[in-house]
Amino acid sequence: PTGFDYTSGHIAFVENGKLKDLVIGDYALNFGQGLVLWTGAAFGKGREVTGTISKNERGLRPYGSAQETNFFRGIAATFGDQTEISLFYSDRKRTASMASDSTINFPSSSGFHRTENELNRRNNISQQVFGGRFLSDTRFGLIGVSGHSSEFSLPIESGTSVNDLYDFSGKNASVVGVDYRGYFARSLVFGELARSKNGALAGIAGIESGLGDRTDVALLYRNFAKDFQSIYGDGFGESSGNPQNERGWYIGL
């Protein structure tokens, strides 16, 4: 009687000459080290102390998960060979609770539509996102530049608790960053530096290397400003989601 709670679909063309990927419908994006754009699964600190601190981007891919919010809906394409250019546009409905008569809280990620109130606010706002990615495979490694801009149909109001003080508010959010990943001798070297619309910066840099035949070492430094706002970011750190308000070293042996 109420229809399907969640539907998803896509048409995808893969490896068609210079057209590496083309997706119409629902898709996910993973770029760089996750400070600018990383949707879907992201691994953080865990029991595997080496081999996990560097993200290996998957770029554009069709979306087929049951998770209802962490994806884009529209059209996206990746062109090129040694040098790739990705462009994407998304326009989809989101679900958010009203903070006032004219503002909303940040869209929900639960996907629940169980009660009358939850049903009434289902898909009550829209969000448009567009952006791109430039990636070059040089003899020094992979060098990329990525960015995106997002606009909501109603202004978002940040929470009132202390830990919400520097969260995103308003209708427009954007972030841009540059990243690197390459090998030097036996070592994997990587990093990313990003800037959000409010001028806040976030950076991450690391190295993974073998020491002899049976020993590996991982070293990473991260510095995420307390007011850095990347609504689709998910960098390596203590918490998942927006890489914000962290500074520290990670060492694994």
Q: Is the pLDDT of residue 46 over 90?
A: no
- Model confidence band, residue 97 (pLDDT cutoffs 50, 70, 90): confident
- 56: number of Cβ within 10 Å: 9
Query: Contact, 193 vs 205, CB < 8 A?
Result: no
- Model confidence band, residue 75 (pLDDT cutoffs 50, 70, 90): very high
- Model confidence band, residue 43 (pLDDT cutoffs 50, 70, 90): low
- Model confidence band, residue 42 (pLDDT cutoffs 50, 70, 90): low
Nearest alpha-carbon partner for 147 in 77, 44, 219, 232: 232
Query: Contact, 247 vs 223, CB < 8 A?
Result: yes
Query: Contact, 179 vs 192, CB < 8 A?
Result: yes
Q: Is the pLDDT of residue 44 over 80?
A: no
The pTM of the full predicted model, rounded to 2 decimals, is 0.90
Q: In the prediction, which pLDDT does 63 show?
A: 93
